[in-house]
Structure 1
Amino acid sequence: MTTFLTPQQRADRTSAAVEAAVAAGRERGLTVTEPTVLHDVFSVVVHLAPSPVVARIPTVLPRPDDHLAALARRQQDELDVTQWLADQKIPVIAPSPLVPREPVRRDGFSMTFWPFVEEARDKEPDYVANAESVADLHAALCAYPGRLEFLSAADPRFIADSLALLDQHPDLIGAAELDRARREWQFLEPLVRSRSAFEARFPGVDLQPIHGDSPPANIFNAVDGDLYADFELVTLGPVEWDLAALGPEHEAAYNRGARRNGTRPLDEEVLAFVNALGMVRVIATLTLVPQLPELMEYLKPAVDHWRTTPFAAGMST
């Protein structure tokens, strides 16, 4: 049976992350006397008060034993991309100017530092408007000069490893569902692993820097205006990846934004691909439930829906 993290172990992990962030902040000259945890899900996000700096420390990781080097590379990509966007006057949460722009490793964690931005808590997110706004973000990201890996946000190693491990967790997924997920991954994997295979399968579909992690859900409602945020999975890929699993209303909103700024609309076949890939990644994410038990309540509805959908989201073979 699956062994889940206990509440005490979860609290100890959070405390260790906060202590590491406080020590790292003080080492970099920040005054920290009242650290306050703002969020604690996949990452611990702590305001290093009274300094106007927030540390984000990923704590729920696919490969806890060998994650730090790979995590730091992704974090550096995020820092570089968001700083570049800020330099282009794009509304984004950029790295804190009070510390060097680089990931910091301490006590088994790798963390990044961001400005503390006051949230407009009385404002409800408008995800449809956000989806339209993502077309503007993509238009800006087109010009990003840095190098990014192809579809690293999908993390094909994580998917392959997780689908292999799920045999050991029959309480998380049934045998029939796991068999289907593995067959879908066998069909999709070549298009994720190889840029040339993707381009051969989808000729004429351009690749560009994209947010990587559902940007309509990662626009921060700041007091002074909305800001693009949380580029932890920034990657090179088709723009459709950023609209995966959001549905027709959000897709139509994105297309309105694309028409407005002169960029291409979403491609239906690529949407089917990213939707299928996103669902296989949901199945793979079940392996993180032992580290974050409450994750199951969010994944279960998606898995239930997936059972009712065509194989590989109806992609033609």
Structure 2
Amino acid sequence: MRAEEAIDAVTSAATQAGLPAHDASVVRVGENGVVLLPSAGVLARVVPRAAKGSAPRREIDVATWLASRHVPVVHPARPEPMIVGQYVVSLWEYLADSRPADLVTLAKCLRQLHVLAIPANLLPCLSPFDGFEERLQAGACLDINDRMLLRELRDQLSARWVTAEFTLGEAVLHGDAHMENLLVSAGGREAFVDLEAVCIGPPEWDLTLTALYYECGWFPHKEYVDFVQTYGFDVRLSPSWSELRMARMLRMTLWLAQSAGNDLQRQRQLRHRINTLRDGTAPAGWTGY
């Protein structure tokens, strides 16, 4: 998605909703787009209508349900998504002056999420390999050998995943649980955002990103220890840690492949990730974006 496409779609949706859009600005674009409408106090999410696995209506329903269960979550600014040409636009409250949560807050809020009773007929089950081929094909910087390697790792992992053992049972998951997807406002309000991956599955899935980021060297040891102690479980001790870890590394690599584009720094990091997946040293030397 190009920035101008996201702006055009959101401007049209805002006009239909009677919201000011003269100061619309792109927050990010990629598979989806996020556009800020400062005067309206709204953050708009834009997804292609044909996007596989995209369900803006469900995201709104999930946010409403989580709020009713007193889980800290961003609130929809409009109860229905809007169709604008080939895009679907959903409007959300904008949490001004917010910052990413620290790891202790993330662990606390994940515990709160994971103890919810699983709802009937609202959430899909976790499917770690959904969208793999689409993301692989979208990685323009990947050559044929890269794709062969990633498919081979995926095939090996999917066979192991069938018999993977998870200690913590099943729960409602955020699905993409990291500090930037839990915001804390200047007034102290906490809110999970980016709800498109909320699903049912093993809580270990939500803990893996933090553990993997720690392995990458992105957090000090004490911060990770505090995260583990607050949540009450270290996912690295899970019998399926190797499967969880590889699943996340593959997803992180494909995300970078999609976003590398003409960015030479990202292309170099992508090449490093591929090389370390090939020689078994991943995630040594992985940097974050």
TM-score under structure 2 length normalisation: 0.76
Matches within 5 A, 1:251-262: 252-259=225-232
- Give the alignment of 1:1-317 within 5 angstroms: 13-28=2-17, 30-42=18-30, 43-58=32-47, 66-67=50-51, 70-71=53-54, 73=55, 75-96=56-77, 99=78, 101-120=79-98, 125=100, 127-152=102-127, 154=128, 156-163=129-136, 165=137, 172-173=142-143, 175=145, 177-190=146-159, 197=162, 200-202=163-165, 205-225=168-188, 226-242=190-206, 243-244=208-209, 245-247=212-214, 249=221, 252-259=225-232, 266=235, 267-285=237-255, 288-289=258-259, 292-294=261-263, 296=267, 299-300=270-271, 302-307=273-278, 309=280
Which segments of 5 or more consecutive residues in structure 1 lack a partner in the other structure?
1-9, 313-317
Instruction: Give deviations 1:126-185, integer Å, cap 9, x for gaps.
Output: 643244234334335444455322224x3x24224555x49x96x53572x544433221
Q: State the alpha-carbon separation in 1 of the partners of residues 101 and 38 from structure 2.
A: 30
Q: How far has the Cα of 1:210 moved from its partner?
A: 0.6
Query: Which protein, 1 or 2, shows the higher relative CO under an 8 Å CA cutoff with sep ≥ 6?
Result: 1
Q: 1:113–1:67: structure 2 CA closer, same or farther, 3 Å change rule?
A: same
Cα RMSD for the two superposed structures: 3.5
Q: SS where residue 15 of structure 1 aligns?
A: helix
Shift in Å at residue 115 of structure 1? 0.9
Residues 123 and 200, structure 2, Cα contact 8 Å, conserved in 1: yes
Q: How many residues align?
A: 270
Q: Which amino acid aligns with 2:248?
A: G
CA spacing shift, 1:299–1:219, aligned 2, 3 Å: farther
8 A contact 1:158–1:284 mirrored in 2: no
- Cα distance in 2 for residues equivalent to 1:237 and 1:143: 10
Residue 301 of structure 1, CA deviation: 5.2
Q: Secondary structure at the match of 1:181?
A: helix
Q: Look up the SS of the partner of 2:240 in the other structure.
A: helix
How big is each residue's C-alpha offset from its partner over 1:56-104, in whole Å with a ceiling of 9 and x where there is no partner?
1147xxxx9x427x42x2x2332222222222232221211xx2x2332
Decide whether the 8 Å contact of 1:212 with 1:235 is kept in 2: yes
Task: Note the alpha carbon deviations across 1:17-53, whole angstroms, 9 max, x for none.
Answer: 212212222223x231423215123343223343232
Query: 1: distance between equivalents of 2:182 and 2:275?
Result: 27
Distance of 1:31 and 1:203 partners within structure 2:
46
Structure 2: give runs of 5+ residues left out of the alignment: 216-220, 284-289
The answer to whether the 8 A contact 1:131-1:253 is kept is: no
The 3-state SS of whatever aligns with 1:45 is strand
Deviation of the 1:106 alpha carbon:
1.0
Tell me the distance in 2 between the aligned counterparts of 1:134 and 1:240: 14
| TM, length-normalised to structure 1 | 0.70
How many angstroms apart in 1 are the aligned matches of 2:147 and 2:135?
A: 11
> Which amino acid in structure 2 is aligned with residue 95 of structure 1?
P
Which residue type is aligned with residue 184 of structure 1?
A: L
Question: For 1:203 and 1:47, how far apart are their aligned partners in 2?
Answer: 39
254 and 77 in structure 1: CA distance in 2 versus 1, 3 angstrom threshold: farther
Question: Percent same amino acid among aligned pairs?
Answer: 19
Q: Work out the CA distance in 1 between the residues paired with 2:6 and 2:195.
A: 20
